A and B are shown apart, each in its own frame.
Chain A
Amino acid sequence: MLHREDVSLRASKPLAHDILSRNNVQVTGRGTQPILFAHGFGCDQHMWRFVAPAFEADYRVVLFDYVGSGKSDLHAYNRERYSSLNGYAEDILDICRALDLRDIIFVGHSVSSMIGLLAAIREPERFHRLVLVAPSPRYLNEAPDYVGGFERQDIEELLQTMDKNYIGWANFLAPRVMNRPDRPELNQELTESFCSTDPTIARRFAEVTFFSDNRKDLPKLTVPSLILQCSEDLIAPRQVGDYLHRNLARSTLRLTRATGHCPHMSAPEETTSLIKDYLGQGSMS
C-alpha cells in the first residue's frame, strides 16, 4: 500500500541518505559543476541516457526519479504532497540539499521544466541556468488569448487512454526480461532501460501535470533559462514557446530541428549540442 502507516508529529528533516535512495539519485561525471537532469511525465531518468553521458567529462551529472517513477521508493508517495507540482519541486530541492548542490545547471523535460522553475523561484541562489526541454506553463487553452493546445476534454481522453493501457498491467512498463539465455547482457539491458512507473501514481501525475497552471510564476524566475522548442510539438506547440520566451526574463529561445515532444530521445545529438552551445555562451559573457 502506498499510504504512510503512522503519523509522526515531530518535525524531522529527512536524512540525506534517505533522500538519495528515495529518489534513486545517481551521480556520475568528472566535473565539479552539477548538471541535474529531471525526467518528464511517462518515463524515468533513463530517458536521459542518450544525452547525459555527453556531459560527464565536464560536469557532475546528477540523475534521479521522482517519487512514484522508476526505481524510486513508492512508499514515499504522499497524495497530499504530490497533488501539486510544488511537491515535485520539493523533491528537487531535497536532492539539492542532500548533495549540497550549488551553481546548478538544471535540465528538465516537459513538466519538469515547470517543476524546475518552481524550485528555482524558491531557492534562486542554488541555480546557475535552467534548460527547459519542450516546456509549457499551461496545457489548456484559456480564452481569449492563451493557446495551450488542449481543451479539458482532450486531457480527460488522455487519462482514459492511460486507464485503458493500465488494464491488466500490475505495473505498466515494468521490466519484463527477454528470454535470451544465449545473450545474458540483453536481459540486463532491458531491465535497466525500461521506463517503469506505478499506474496509479502515473495517472495522478498526469492530472497534476496537465491541469496545472504556472503562467503566474513565470515573471518570478530570475535565473537565466534556455527554452528548447521542438518543431511540430503537439504537446508544447510553437506559440507556447513564444509565450514562455516573452514572459521569462533572461530567456533564450532555440528551435530544434527535431520534431515531436522528446528531442532528447529522437535527436539526442542535436539536443546535446544545443545545450552545450547555450552553456558555452554563458561562460564567455
Chain B
Amino acid sequence: MQPMDDALNTAPCGVFSFTDDGTLVAVNGTLAEMLGYGTGELVGGRVESFLTLASRMFYQTHLFPMLRMQGKAEEIFLSLRSRSGESIPVLLNAVRKEHEGGVVNQCALIPVRNRGKYEDELLAAKRTAEEALRNNEELTRARRELELHARELDQKLSRLEQKNQELTRISTILSHDLREPIRKLSMFSSLFTQQDRQVLSATGQRSLDRIKLQSARMEQLVMALQEFVSLDDTQEPLEDVELGDVVGGARQLVTERAGTMMELRSEPLPVLQGRRRQLMMLFFQLLDNSVKFRRPEESPRIGIECHVIQHNTYRANTGRYHYTDFARILYADNGMGFDNRYSDYVFEALKKLDPDSPGQGIGLAICRKVVENHNGSISVESEPGRGTRFTLLLPLRQ
C-alpha cells in the first residue's frame, strides 16, 4: 500500500481503492472512521466487506462491469455497512487507473442520508404514478384488442358453424350415400358366378376383376375418410389419459393387425388431459406407419423419448405469451424414411409419396388432426434409408 498523504487521509469524503480481484489496497481515515474501523484495518480485506448484501450484488452486476468496460462510474448509489451493522447510503464515483504495473480502481464517496430519504419518497411517488399510467395504458390496449378480437371471433364462429354443418353433411355422405352404391357395386360384381364369368370374353373377365378390386379399394378409402372426418366430432369427453397405456394399447393393435413384431423402447410418458380414443388413434397411426414403411431386411425398431418443457400456449395470436407444461415427444423409427423435402406433404390427407405403397394415405393426416385437436403440433424429419423422426408437442392440460 502506498502511504496516503495527510490531506487525502482526512478529506471530508471516503476514499478507497481496490484491485480487479476485489482486494482493498487503500482506505482513508475518513472512511475507516465512518465505518467504525481503525486506520489500516480494512486494507487487504475485500471491498465487499463494507457493503450491504444488496450493494454487493449491485457491485458485482453493475459497478464492476461498468468500471471494467468503460474505466469509470459516476454517481453510483450504494449502501455501506458499518462494523456495528448500520446501513449508510452513499454516492460514489470511481475510476480505473494503471498503477505500478497493475490496475487499481479508485473510489471516492460521500454519505447522503438526508437526500436518501427524499429520494425514497420521490421513488415511491414515481412508482405509484408509473403503475397508474401502465394500468391505464394496459386497459386501453386490452379494450382495443378485445373489440378487435370480438369481431374476428364472431366472424370465425359463424364460419365455423357453417363448416360444421358441411362436415356433418359430408360425414353422412361418406357413411351412407357413398358407401351404399359402393357396397352394391361389390355385391353385384360378386353375384357373377363362375359360369357367368366363363361366358365373358377375356377382356370382360379382366374388367370384372378390376371392378371387384377397385370397389374394395374404394370402400376402404371411404372408410378411411370417414375416420378422418369423424375426428372433428368433439363429443368425446376430455379426461386424464395415461399416455404410456395408450402407446401400449396401440402397439398391441398394430402387432395383431400386421402380424409383425416390433421393438419399442419408450421413456416414461406423462398423464395428459385429452381424448383417449383420438390419442390412441394417433399412436396407432404412428406405429402402423413405422411397420408399413419398415426396411425389408430389418424388423421395426421404435424409440420414444419424452420431456416436459415449458412452451407458449398461444398459437394464432402473435405477441401473446403464456407458458405452460407441454410433453415434447420424440418418436423415431428405423424405417425406410423419405426425402425431407416432403416433410409437410406427408401430413396431407390422401397424399402418398409412393402410390403403390400400402394404406390409403390418411394415417399421418389423422395424426396431425389429433395433435391439433389437442392444441399441439407435430413435425417430421426424415432421411431415406435412415428412418423417420416425429416431434410432437402436446400440452399437459387443455
Decide whether A and B are members of one complex: yes
For window 1-22 of chain A, which residues contact chain B by CB distance below 8 Å?
A: 1, 3-4, 7-12
Given A161-B77, A259-B21: A7 in contact with B61 (beta carbons within 8 A): no
For chain B, the count of residues having a C-beta within 8 Å of the partner chain is 54
**Are B20 and A266 touching (Cβ within 8 A)?**
yes
Which of B64, B148, B152, B311 makes the CB contact (< 8 A) with A122? B311
Tell me the complex Cα distance, A11–B319, Å: 9
Tell me the complex Cα distance, A158–B149, Å: 40
**Are B323 and A86 touching (Cβ within 8 A)?**
yes
Tell me the complex Cα distance, A81–B323, Å: 9
**Are A190 and B70 touching (Cβ within 8 A)?**
yes
Specify the chain A residue showing the minimal Cβ separation from B144: A7
Q: Is B315's CB within 8 Å of the partner chain A? A: yes
Specify the chain A residue showing the minimal Cβ separation from B62: A42
Interfacial chain A residues near B69, Cβ < 8 Å: 43, 46-47, 193-195, 265
**Are A11 and B323 touching (Cβ within 8 A)?**
no
**Are B70 and A163 touching (Cβ within 8 A)?**
no
Tell me the complex Cα distance, A258–B152, Å: 58
Interface-side segment among B45-53, B189-197, B236-244, B291-299: B45-53
- The proximity string for A residues 21-56 relative to B, scoring 1 for CB distances below 8 Å and 0 otherwise, is 000000000000000000011110011000000000
For window 279-331 of chain B, which residues contact chain A by CB distance below 8 Å?
A: 307-312, 315-323, 328
Tell me the complex Cα distance, A90–B315, Å: 14
**Are B65 and A195 touching (Cβ within 8 A)?**
yes
Tell me the complex Cα distance, A94–B282, Å: 29
Tell me the complex Cα distance, A260–B69, Å: 16
Tell me the complex Cα distance, A267–B22, Å: 12
Given A9-B317, A86-B310, A165-B77: A234 in contact with B52 (beta carbons within 8 A): no
**Are A266 and B61 touching (Cβ within 8 A)?**
no
Specify the chain A residue showing the minimal Cβ separation from B112: A164
Given A167-B119, A260-B64: A10 in contact with B318 (beta carbons within 8 A): yes
- The proximity string for A residues 73-95 relative to B, scoring 1 for CB distances below 8 Å and 0 otherwise, is 00000101101101100100000
Q: Is B141's CB within 8 Å of the partner chain A? A: yes
Which of B54, B68, B77 makes the CB contact (< 8 A) with A266? B68
Given A86-B310, A158-B57, A160-B54: A11 in contact with B315 (beta carbons within 8 A): yes
Minimum CB–CB distance for B388 against chain A, Å? 15
Interfacial chain B residues near A83, Cβ < 8 Å: 321
Q: Is A150's CB within 8 Å of the partner chain B? A: yes
Q: Is A154's CB within 8 Å of the partner chain B? A: yes
Q: Is A242's CB within 8 Å of the partner chain B? A: no
Q: Is B218's CB within 8 Å of the partner chain A? A: no
Minimum CB–CB distance for A202 against chain B, Å? 9
Interfacial chain B residues near A80, Cβ < 8 Å: 319-322
Interfacial chain B residues near A265, Cβ < 8 Å: 64-65, 68-69
Minimum CB–CB distance for A191 against chain B, Å? 10
**Are A4 and B319 touching (Cβ within 8 A)?**
yes
**Are B319 and A234 touching (Cβ within 8 A)?**
no
Minimum CB–CB distance for A167 against chain B, Å? 6
Q: Is B137's CB within 8 Å of the partner chain A? A: yes
Q: Is A182's CB within 8 Å of the partner chain B? A: no
Given A121-B307, A235-B57: A87 in contact with B65 (beta carbons within 8 A): no
Interfacial chain A residues near B152, Cβ < 8 Å: 9
Interfacial chain B residues near A157, Cβ < 8 Å: 52-54, 79
**Are A3 and B141 touching (Cβ within 8 A)?**
yes
**Are A7 and B309 touching (Cβ within 8 A)?**
no
Cβ contacts A to B, 24 pairs, < 8 Å: A3-B137, A9-B316, A10-B316, A42-B65, A81-B319, A86-B310, A86-B323, A90-B312, A124-B307, A154-B57, A157-B53, A158-B54, A158-B57, A161-B77, A164-B77, A165-B77, A195-B65, A234-B48, A234-B53, A234-B57, A235-B57, A265-B65, A266-B20, A267-B21
Q: Which residues in A have some Cβ–Cβ distance to B below 8 Å?
A: 1, 3-4, 7-12, 40-43, 46-47, 78, 80-81, 83-84, 86-87, 90, 110, 118, 121-122, 124, 150, 154-155, 157-158, 160-165, 167-168, 173, 190, 193-195, 220, 232, 234-235, 258-262, 265-267
The 10 closest A-B pairs by CB, nearest first: A157-B54, A42-B61, A261-B60, A164-B77, A158-B54, A81-B321, A80-B321, A86-B323, A265-B68, A154-B53
